[in-house]
């Protein structure tokens, strides 16, 4: 797989290392000539192209016509959008990924056909906000920029869910217990299954019912 990354900073270094470890071919585009030299020294197995990424000629030089994906992670939302649009419309790159620094732009990017829009602000703020609410919540993963939450909670003896069957819990609509981890083993639960002390529950729910889900399971929302 050939991937083009547009931008700089730690995120580019991380993505490059990750993709190279999987055997992917990576090309990086950046406007600063000196920075390109640093990238070449730091990642000798990559191709580094110096130039403005919104210039179709630069994208052509980077191999856009035979690339499988392009990832635009500059600090400028308009630039990320233009890069993805050129990549899709002129070079038919099948997968376009864009970092959105302003969450207000997510809907625009989606409407204009970007394959995947990544809003770090929305994801991080959602994780921080919801993690500080519940000390019993040990893991939370927002999915599709926070449109769906995957939450992992540990069942303690004082919780109302203890010794309750799933069918008696009366969880709100748009939520479900997808898995129970007990003694290191994963259980795909049914309605008759009981929740025991020490169980780790993996719960899927929409964000708007998450507080109600936690109240049902834990008996409180802090």
DSSP 140-174: EEEETTTTEEEEEEE--TTSTTTT-BHHHH-PPSS
The answer to whether residues 67 and 53 touch, using CB atoms and an 8 Å cutoff, is no
222 pLDDT band, cuts 50/70/90, is very low
Query: CATH 3.30.70.1450 spans which residues of the chain?
Result: 123-218
| Fold of the CATH domain 2-118 | Rossmann fold (3.40.50)
The answer to whether residues 33 and 50 touch, using CB atoms and an 8 Å cutoff, is yes
Q: Does domain 123-218 have CATH number 3.90.1150.110?
A: no
For the cut 80, the answer to whether the pLDDT of residue 77 exceeds it is yes
Query: CATH 3.40.50.720 spans which residues of the chain?
Result: 2-118
Residue 65: other Cβ atoms inside 10 A? 11
Measured between alpha carbons, how far is 98 from 20 in angstroms, rounded to an integer? 20
Average of per-residue pLDDT across 96-111: 85
Environment class of 83 (CB within 10 Å of its CB; exposed 0-12, middle 13-18, buried 19+): buried
Whether the full predicted model's pTM is greater than 0.75, yes or no, is no
99 against 26, higher pLDDT: 26
The answer to whether residues 3 and 25 touch, using CB atoms and an 8 Å cutoff, is yes
For residue range 148-205, list pLDDT tens digits in order: 888 888 899 999 999 999 989 889 899 999 999 999 899 999 889 999 999 999 999 8
Q: Which residue has the tokens 């580094």?
A: 48
For the cut 70, the answer to whether the pLDDT of residue 63 exceeds it is yes
């Amino acid at each position: 797989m050939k991937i083009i990354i547009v931008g700089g900073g730690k995120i580019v270094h991380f993505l490059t290392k990750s993709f190279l470890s999987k055997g992917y071919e990576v090309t990086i585009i950046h406007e600063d000539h000196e920075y390109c030299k640093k990238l070449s020294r730091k990642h000798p197995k990559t191709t580094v192209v110096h130039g403005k990424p919104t210039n179709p000629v630069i994208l052509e030089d980077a191999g856009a016509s035979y690339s499988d994906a392009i990832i635009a992670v500059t600090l400028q939302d308009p630039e990320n959008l233009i890069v993805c649009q050129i990549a899709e419309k002129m070079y038919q790159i099948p997968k376009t990924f864009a970092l959105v620094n302003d969450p207000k732009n997510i809907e625009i990017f989606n409407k204009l056909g970007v394959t995947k829009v990544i809003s770090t602000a929305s994801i991080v703020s959602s994780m921080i906000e919801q993690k500080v609410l519940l000390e019993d919540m040990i893991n939370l993963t927002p999915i599709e920029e926070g449109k769906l939450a995957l939450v992992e909670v540990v069942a303690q003896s004082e919780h109302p869910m203890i010794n309750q069957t799933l069918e008696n819990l009366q969880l709100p609509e748009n939520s479900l217990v997808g898995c129970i981890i007990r003694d290191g083993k994963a259980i795909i639960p049914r309605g008759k299954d009981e929740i025991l002390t020490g169980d780790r529950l993996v719960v899927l729910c929409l964000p708007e019912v998450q507080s109600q889900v936690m109240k049902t399971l834990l008996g409180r929302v802090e």
